[in-house]
Structure 1
Amino acid sequence: MNNSGNTLLAIIAGSAIGATLGILFAPDKGENTRRLIADQAAATRDNLTESALDLKNRVATKVSDERDTIDSRVESIVSDLSYKTEDVILALEKKLAELKSKNKKLQKTV
């Protein structure tokens, strides 16, 4: 998880803890306090769910972008390699033709 994800999680956790402690130390009836704690827990759960979905979407986008970048790089490498392979083949064919020519000359002199 990156720094912004850790910071977001810390802020949410701190808010939940602070709100819960504030509710517990506030002078109110037990029933009201329990309801407030339940409401705060539900809100925290919703915030965590939303944060998790946001993080999931950001990771999925990043992975997709990186995959596209890697695919593009691989295509470029394969294309470059294909051209270089063709150059090597042409050079070898030229050298082979030279050797065949020399070989013919040698066979005629013998």
Structure 2
Amino acid sequence: MSNSSNTVVGLLAGTVIGATLGILFAPDKGINTRQRISDEALAAKDKIAERAVELKDQVSSTMVDKKESLDTQLESVVSNVSHKAEDVITTLEKKLKELKDKNKKLQKTV
């Protein structure tokens, strides 16, 4: 997880713990306290679920972006290698022609 994600999770956990402790030490009937704890727990669960969905979406988006970047870079490398290979083939063909010409001259003189 990133630092901002850890911070958000820490803040949520702190909020839940603080609210729970506040409710427990507040002078109120047991049934009311239990209901408030239940309500706070459900609210915290919903916030955590929302944050989990947001994090999943962020990770998914980042992965898609990185994949597209990698695909683009790979395509560029393949294209560059293809051009280099073509240059090497052209150079080799020229050298082969030169060698054939030299060989013809040598055969004529013998």
Give the alignment of 1:1-110 within 5 angstroms: 1-110=1-110
CA distance in 2, matches of 1:33, 1:60: 40
- Structure 1 length-normalised TM: 0.98
CA drift of 1:106 comes to: 1.1
**RMSD across aligned C-alpha pairs, in angstroms?**
0.5
Structure 2 gap ranges (5+): none
Question: How far 1:107 moved relative to its partner?
Answer: 1.2
| 3-state SS, counterpart of residue 28 of structure 1 | coil
Residue segments in structure 1 that go unaligned for 5+ positions in a row: none
Runs of 4+ in 1 over 4 A off after TM superposition: none
The amino acid of 1:98's aligned partner reads: E
- What is the count of residue pairs matched by the alignment? 110
Percent of residue pairs identical = 57
